[in-house]
């Protein structure tokens, strides 16, 4: 399998003519054994993972997640990668789980194999910031995958939803928990019990998405630009910031404040704290050591 570092030298088309297809944003790829994803480097410090099952509208499967988890681990351990963007196609971020993989499962098979646990086991442990750029359908597992990201960008025409109830099941990869956390119990309950979808515009209004764009191209480019800005920061401070924000979801306020203060204090032991404050005083751009 091609290493992530080898992808750094790949040319990537970033300037798009009017009406260009979304795929041109990440048309440069490296030969690899990945069959369900593409991994590229659109700019220094940024890794771009594109779900690539176009005939199945990027339907999620165990095979896809094995590749996605592997790519995420490689990028997370790559010191030259400061942020990661995850996207799909203009038609579908991921239109849901591959029903063919699960329709004949019995309870004992699903339970004994802990089915789909691998779908959500890796991303929470990734310390590098992850931005989901969502266009088209993000349904079922696709919506859950987007919700696992640290930041969600979407186009106004994107479609989110947890329609599992229509199949006689419920969300199984975090949808009932993360969606409720993002939009509140009442609204999440309505969506999950009815299988009703919601738009990219609503995702922005409800706080699911940080930014909403007019086009798929602008969405992906916006995510890449933000990832680039993040990668320009001290990786020590970035990882610490991501950690304390995530802790706010797990801890009571008082405990969270104490945790934040301890991490804040710890950063005074980093080289980058000295570099950053000296650069501010001297009115120059900091040159981070990432230590």
Catalytic site positions? 97, 141, 144, 164
3-state secondary structure of 159: strand
Can you tell me which residue has the tokens 């798009």?
A: 16
32/40 Cα distance (integer angstroms): 11
72 neighbors 126 (Cβ within 8 angstroms): yes
The torsion angle over the Cα atoms of residues 120, 121, 127 and 130, rounded to 10 degrees, is -20
DSSP state of 149: S
- By C-alpha distance, which of 131, 30, 11 is closest to 83? 131
Report the candidate in 100, 178, 166, 86 with the shortest Cα–Cα distance to residue 134.
86
Residues in the chain: 291
Structure token pair of residue 147: 């919700």
The Cα–Cα gap between 121 and 129 comes to 16
Q: What is residue 15's three-state secondary structure?
A: coil
Q: In 200-277, where do the E strands start and end?
A: 211-213
Query: Six-digit token pair at 162?
Result: 């947890």
Distances in Å between the Cα of 76 and the Cα atoms of 24, 87, 92, 158, 171 are: 25, 17, 25, 28, 27
């Amino acid at each position: 399998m091609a290493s992530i570092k080898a992808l750094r030298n790949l040319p990537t088309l970033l300037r798009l003519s009017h009406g260009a297809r979304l795929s041109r944003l990440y048309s440069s790829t490296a030969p690899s054994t990945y069959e369900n994803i593409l991994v590229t480097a659109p700019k220094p410090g940024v890794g771009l993972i594109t779900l690539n099952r176009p005939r199945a509208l990027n339907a999620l499967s165990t095979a896809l997640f094995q590749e996605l988890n592997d790519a995420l681990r490689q990028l997370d351990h790559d010191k030259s990668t400061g942020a990661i963007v995850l996207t799909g196609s203009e038609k579908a971020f991921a239109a849901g789980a591959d029903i063919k993989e699960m329709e004949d499962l019995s309870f004992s098979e699903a339970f004994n194999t802990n089915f789909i646990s691998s779908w959500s086991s890796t991303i929470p442990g990734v310390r590098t910031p992850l931005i989901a750029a969502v266009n088209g359908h993000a349904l079922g597992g696709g919506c859950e995958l987007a919700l696992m990201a640290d930041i969600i960008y979407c186009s106004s025409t994107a479609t989110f939803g947890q329609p599992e109830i229509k199949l006689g099941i419920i969300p199984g990869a975090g949808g009932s928990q993360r969606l409720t956390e993002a939009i509140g119990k009442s609204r999440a309950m309505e969506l999950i019990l009815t299988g009703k979808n919601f738009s990219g515009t609503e995702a922005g209004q409800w706080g699911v998405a940080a930014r909403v764009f007019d086009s798929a191209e602008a969405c992906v480019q916006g995510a890449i630009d933000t990832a680039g800005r993040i990668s320009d920061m001290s990786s020590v401070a970035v990882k610490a910031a991501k950690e304390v924000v995530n802790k706010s979801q797990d801890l009571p306020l008082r405990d969270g404040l104490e945790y934040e203060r301890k991490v804040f204090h710890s950063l005074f032991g980093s080289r980058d704290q000295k570099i950053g404050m000296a650069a501010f005083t001297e009115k120059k751009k900091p040159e981070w050591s990432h230590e």
